[in-house]
Structure 1
């Protein structure tokens, strides 16, 4: 269970975010803070796995909170959740080592996707296996370049696709059902993503024979 610290100066918004987090499998809110000072104190004492951090706080900015944490050597995951749309704010979040950035207001599914992505990256980095360039590209998000696969078919999302690839690489080999459990999507959706990546060459396939139809098991190419 990953522990989350929610930070927002608006009490009502903070409570909404808390309830969102607690609806997501594998995540649990350990505390809610409404100021930068309270956020830093909670981070020091509770040592959460992830902080949902607002930019606009009454005593300091969320970016200052992030900078303080990094200056102290705290590697806690941080997702900036804010109404701020200024490019320099987004740049500051990236420079400070934020894992992601979500502009509010947002829907529950948007947050669920961000947290699933965070969990997939953490699991992949914690897996006991070697890495290659394609694995690194999956974690960081590969930019488009000549020779890249064509855009995903309608109904398939790039972000969920990255989660699927990270899940396969983290596990080594998966069936559609196992991938669905890892990513938190339906088995039918998982099969569509896996078959798409198989068609592009990003994944390979092994047929596991037993009683009945052979099981299709996918692995990194």
Structure 2
């Protein structure tokens, strides 16, 4: 069983994430912390495989938390689960060795995918003492495979039309319905392309509050990737 702790100061978000993690076979949430120092002290005396870590935390922020883990040589893996989507935080987290970076809000399938990829890596590292190249490729190419899956069936001209529209409306959030009306494409088609653009970091997605039924999403082009 892969042991997990959640470091999150929003109780509602923590409860949802705990439910998500425990629903994936092979994972068990051991503790939930709303203060990062308490979580760090727990890790100093308890072996935990994986930490779900927010950036904005009381006590010390997530970036400092990562630094302290490395200084103390605490061997636990980290998935960032945070609203921080600026380049500086993402770059620093990746350089610190996080295994994934999830931007709030996200859907259950996204965190499930992250956990399943991690479990495959976790099991592979414990099942073998020596690796061949194919094993290493399995460890490091999961996101590339997902990218190929998302891109399958997409057409460059359609992608260019949608991306150009988003670039020209960079200051405003829009939803798939508005895009469908403006571009004369079906909402299903629009969402497939938006999912791809979000995965590649060119579009930012946020939850649209106040919607009836299933939650809706708003999209805006990522200013950081505009030349």
TM-score by length of 2: 0.61
Q: What is residue 52 of structure 1 aligned with on the other side?
A: 52
Q: Partner of 1:65 in structure 2? A: 65
> Is the counterpart of residue 140 in structure 1 residue 130 in structure 2?
no
SS of the residue corresponding to residue 106 of structure 2 reads: coil
Q: Give the aligned partner of residue 42 of structure 1.
A: 42
- Alpha-carbon displacement from aligned partner over 1:95-143 (angstroms, at most 9, x marks no partner): 1111111111111111111111111111112222532333323212289
- Please show how residues 181-196 of structure 1 align to structure 2 within 5 Å: none
Measured in 1, the distance between the counterparts of 2:119 and 2:30 equals 17
Which deviates further from its counterpart, 58-67 or 37-46? 37-46
What residue is the counterpart of 2:104 in the other structure? 104
Instruction: Report if the CA contact (8 A) 2:117-2:142 is conserved.
Output: no
Contact 2:55–2:82 (CA under 8 A) maintained in structure 1: yes
Structure 2: unaligned runs, 5 residues or longer: 154-227
- Structure 1 or 2: more helix by fraction: 2
1:83 and 2:83 equivalent? yes
Shift of residue 82 of structure 1? 0.3
> Residues 143, 13 of structure 1: CA spacing in aligned structure 2 closer, same or farther, 3 A cutoff?
closer
Give the 5 Å matches for 1:126-165: 126-128=126-128, 130-141=130-141, 151-152=148-149, 154=152
Distance across 1 between alignment mates of 2:36 and 2:129: 38
Q: Which residue in the other structure is 2:22 paired with?
A: 22
> Higher mean Cα deviation, 125-134 or 10-19?
125-134
Whole-angstrom CA distance in 2 between matches of 1:17 and 1:143: 21
- Distance in 1 (CA, whole Å) between partners of 2:143 and 2:133 is 13
Distance 1:3 1:133 in 2: 28
Taking structure 1 as the reference length, the TM-score comes to 0.62
Distance 2:28 2:138 in 1: 26
Displacement of 1:30: 0.5
Partner of 1:122: 122
Aligned length: 149
Q: Counterpart of 1:38 in 2: which secondary structure? A: helix
